[in-house]
Amino acid sequence: ENHPDTATCYNNLAELYRKQDRYDEAEPLYIKAKDIYNKVLDENHPDTATCYNNLAGLYDEQGRYDEAEPLFIKAKDIYKKVLGENHPDTASNYNNLALLYDEQGRYKEAESLYIKAKDIREKVLGEKHAKTALSYMSLGGFYYERGESQVGLELCEKALRIYQNTLLAGHPATQLCEDWVEGIKNSMGK
């Protein structure tokens, strides 16, 4: 019961339930995984941080922002301490925290974190990586929603080119990005 692999199984099953919108089933599994990781691996372990990040994502999806934010911040602090500022997991956490702030109307904080995530991913993964494309798409959507349609369109089109070159045809990320680009173009009358 108290083994890191058991915690990983709980965490992975919780992720599955979360993707199926089975939040009531996911939450106790995340908490169980977090407790095992804290006990066996330590508070300052990347797997513990990932569990905090995933539980925060669950709370964010449910609109439980006051519960999500401290967990995202805790995960960020662990990632920065253990993996460093310029690590893909740190960048992913920045992007997740940016989404939370964006949803709350905390736009200045959100923009800063979106940019930070993008910069890390460009530096570490390169400009043609699918995770970097996610940052372009997130930042593009952010700018579009703030009324900067042309900037948003350019970033989303950049993301789309990357997705089309790196992911399989029909991949959900590519489809979503195509929809965003089309929607932005339609709103701009293009």
Summarize pLDDT for 37-53 with one digit per residue, the tens.
999 998 899 999 999 99
* 141-187 confidence digits (pLDDT tens): 999 999 999 999 999 999 999 999 999 778 999 999 999 999 999 99
**Contacts of 133 by beta carbon, 8 Å cutoff, 6+ apart:** 158, 159, 160, 162, 163, 166, 173, 177
- What is the average pLDDT across 64-78? 97
How high is the pLDDT of residue 155?
A: 97
The residue written with tokens 């940052």 in the block is 135
User: In angstroms, rounded to a whole number, what is the distance separating the alpha carbons of residues 163 and 169?
Assistant: 9
How high is the pLDDT of residue 42?
A: 80
Share of the chain above pLDDT 90, in %: 96
Its pTM stands at: 0.90
Tokens of residue 85, six digits? 């500022």
